[in-house]
Amino acid sequence: MTAQKAQLEQQLWNIANTLRGKMDADDFRDYILGFIFYKYLSKKMELYANIILKPDQLTFDDIEGHESEEILIKEIKSAALDKLGYFLKPSELFSELARRGNAGGKSQFILGDLAKVLSHIEQSTMGTESEDDFGNLFEDLDLTSSKLGKSENDKNELIVKVLTHLDEIDFDLENTESDVLGDAYEYLIGQFASGAGKKAGEFYTPQQVSNILAQLVTVGKDKLKSVYDPTCGSGSLLLRVAKQVKEVSAFYGQEMNPTTYNLCRMNMIMHDVHYKKFDIKNEDTLERPQHLDLRFEAIVANPPFSAKWSASPLFMTDDRFSNYGKLAPSSKADFAFVQHMVHQLADNGTMALVLPHGVLFRGAAEGHIRKYLIKDCNYLDAVIGLPANIFYGTSIPTCILVLKKQRTNKKEVLFIDASQHFEKVKTQNVLREEDIAKLLTTYKDYTNGEFDTANIEKYSHVAQLSEIAENDYNLNIPRYVDTFEEEEPINLETVSKELQALAEQSEATDDTIANFCKELGINTPF
């Protein structure tokens, strides 16, 4: 399976590079992921229709021109809209468009037909339960863009080339036990993020960090009623949580960027998450939250670091913020996201989010909110320091906060300093498997009350709440985890002998130089 996955990832990346020279990373990401998604929808449609038609000894290809075509299409469409959430005719399938585009071994004009098909996919959901999940999914796939080529023929030729190459790849969707394509799709998103610079943080959390957050919120659980990400990006965090448990009943997320919102919905569907099981909204989470009436068993997030927000005084009457008495500053929304997530957290839930180190020690309103969360609510469960330079687009060190409303260890908080445990790969620092395993084992030991093994010299410390109070609720990790490495004592007698030997060597060298100068009849330089 690993070899198959690696092969598919490489094949898809090679096709993506067909577009690389034509446009910037953001644009060719949208095109290649959009076309892969279209092929996925087509194959799922074909496989499902063939199952329905099997008793009639027909395939989906057989029904166009069939004497009962109208009835068959109507029945298949009705079933597909409920099961898959969308509908495609046999003539609208990816393989059919690719075949027509390359008929006779020459590029044929299909841009108009392709645009209609992509529009039809969205239109097929109108008035159905899946309308919100499929609406405008292909809006970033602009087939009229000059980025594809100067002339219509140039654009068509490039698109046909990409479709033809994609058509040759087996997505292996018949294998229901495998999620090779979903993983390959995730791989592509990660590859695009690695080359997207600062923008990458808008849509992708590195898998190593996703893995940690997902495991932190699922400790002791094999099923989840719900998981939520208020800044869900491409949905990688939500999907990573699903890999840690047997079942997640419902996925919720909110994403402000329309392009990234589309990418998230595609990613959900590509990982075979049924449209009835996810609810992703396109809005500003802090200013216009969409799921306020819901409470979630697991919450994960990688919010934009120190983002600006309105901090409007009107929010002082908002249930998310009113109890704290102060709002996060307009220049740094980090604690506003924390407060939002706490409000949405179920009583039996766990939340874990990544934030810049400043949230641990900054004062003023942030210090007030931090103190309220620890002293008055007692929600803080763990503080974990991560290495610098592990996120795309920023080199700053970050931390993970873990919060629970019903904590097992009500008088303690775990501090972990994992900042020096990584491997440098090219320009990025990467958490290795052993680094992640050590971090998670330490947290699990702490949750199980095994403080002896959770306290690791120069790595972790189980702090009493009284200790945090003594530090005026400053959570700066070095206050709790001493990582100071004492230097070896200096032997002054040895140093003295070494200096004496150097002096004697220098004197001998001076004598040699003086003799050479005397023989040459010149003055010595000293």
pLDDT per position as a tens digit, 278-325: 999 999 999 999 999 999 999 999 999 999 999 999 999 999 999 999
Q: Considering the domain boundaries, does residue 414 fall inside one? A: yes
* CA distance readout (Å), 353 to 197, 268, 367: 22, 21, 18
Residue 200 structure tokens: 């990458």
- CB neighbourhood size of 64 (10 A): 13
Q: Which of 23-32, 191-200, 497-506 holds the top average pLDDT?
A: 497-506
Who has greater pLDDT, 403 or 109? 403
Sequence-ordered list of residues with C-beta below 8 angstroms from that of 517, at least 6 positions apart, any chain: 523, 524, 525
CA gap 171, 270 in Å, rounded:
11
Asked if residue 238 and residue 89 are part of one domain, the reply reads: no
- Going by pLDDT thresholds of 50, 70 and 90, the confidence category of residue 486 is low
Residues 6+ apart with CB under 8 A from 145: 27, 155
Mean pLDDT of 429-448: 95
Phi, psi of 403 (to 5 degrees): -130, 145
- Asked if the model's pLDDT at residue 475 lies above 60, the reply is yes
Residues 337 and 401 in one domain: yes
Most confident among 178-187, 404-413, 480-489 (mean pLDDT): 404-413
Please report which confidence band the pLDDT of residue 198 belongs to, taking 50, 70 and 90 as the band edges. very low
What's residue 194's pLDDT?
Answer: 65
Residues 290, 363, single domain; the answer is yes
Residue 167 lies in a domain: yes
pLDDT on residue 492: 79
On whether both 90 and 166 belong to a single domain, the answer is yes
Q: How confident is the model at residue 178 (pLDDT cuts 50, 70, 90)?
A: low
- Among 44-48, 61-65, 421-425, 479-483, name the one with the lowest average pLDDT: 421-425
Which pLDDT band holds residue 28 (cuts at 50, 70, 90)? confident
CATH code of the domain containing 36: 1.20.1260.30
Asked if residue 262 lies in contact with residue 256, where contact means CB atoms within 8 angstroms, the answer is no
Confidence (pLDDT) at 494: 80
Q: Whole-structure pTM over 0.85, yes or no?
A: yes
- Going 86 to 89 to 90 to 96, the CA torsion angle's sign is negative
The per-residue pLDDT for 394 is 75
From residue 338, how far is each of 323, 408, 502 by CA, in Å?
14, 21, 61
In a domain, 185, yes or no: no
Read off the CATH number of the domain in which 303 is found.
3.40.50.150
377, with CB counted inside 10 A (0-12, 13-18, 19+), is middle
Does 291 reside within a domain?
yes
Work out the percent of the chain whose per-residue pLDDT is above 70.
Answer: 94
Phi, psi of 57 (to 5 degrees): 55, 45
Whether the CB-CB separation of 279 and 301 falls below 8 Å is answered with: no
Say whether both 393 and 519 belong to one domain: no
Residue 163 to residue 265: CA distance in whole angstroms: 22
Nearest Cα to 101, choosing from 111, 86, 91? 111
123-154 residue pLDDT tens? 999 999 999 999 999 998 999 988 888 999 99
